[in-house]
Amino acid sequence: MKPVRDALATFFGLGFFPKAPGTAASAAAAILYLFVLHRLPWPSYLVFLAVSFFAGAFVSKAYAAEVGQADPQQIVVDEAFGQLLALVHVPARWPPVLAAFLFFRFFDIIKPGPIRKLEELPGGWGIMADDAAAGLIACALTQVLLILRGRLGT
């Protein structure tokens, strides 16, 4: 069970990426969405996200406890989840996926007030919740951008 837990918590080893492992996991999640996950029917994608959130909270709590840190850098399942949340209903084309990626990374890195506060939730919930919030904000902004782009005819 431990190898599976570690693989999920580190998003299949990307948490050990030497520079910016969270960005690496977000990029991998965006590419996974672009080429595979966007094909899932909407209800299946929602179930996938829900399972990912709860599994992420579970494996993050266990991994963090084992290494003795509240939110170790190697845990990047939260970034992958947040990125996939940012991509809800985003067309599988490079420009909108890149916009969602950039919005998510921005809010995940700067963590404005309410997002930072979510990190204080206990265990894996805090690890996952701040990225979920950043993903929701990124999703909303990406959708606004897509709507404006459609209205502007570009």
Q: Per-residue confidence at 141, pLDDT binned at 50, 70, 90?
A: very high
Angle between helices 42-67 and 2-9 (to 10 degrees): 110
For the whole model, what pTM was predicted? 0.96
Within 10 A of 127 (CB to CB), how many other CB atoms are there?
Answer: 27
Distance CA 66, CA 74 (A): 12
Whether residue 153 is predicted with pLDDT greater than 90 in this model: the reply is: no
Token pair in block for residue 49: 């996200």
| Pair 16, 74: CB distance under 8 Å | yes
Predicted pLDDT at 150: 86
Per-residue pLDDT reduced to its tens digit, 5-40: 999 999 999 999 999 999 999 999 999 999 999 999
pLDDT value, residue 151:
67
For residue 87, give every residue at least 6 positions away whose Cβ sits within 8 Å of its Cβ, in sequence order, or none: 29, 30, 33, 37, 38, 97, 100, 139, 142
Confidence of residue 118 (pLDDT cuts 50, 70, 90): very high
Domain assignment of residue 50, given as a range: 2-152
Q: What is the mean pLDDT of residues 119-141?
A: 97
Residue 65: DSSP 8-state: H
In this predicted structure, the answer to whether residue 154 has a pLDDT above a threshold of 60 is: no
Number of domains in the chain: 1
pLDDT at 152 over 70: no
State how far the Cα of 60 lies from the Cα of 126, in Å rounded to an integer. Answer: 10
| pLDDT level of residue 130 (50, 70, 90 thresholds) | very high
Q: Are 60 and 77 in contact (CB under 8 A)?
A: yes
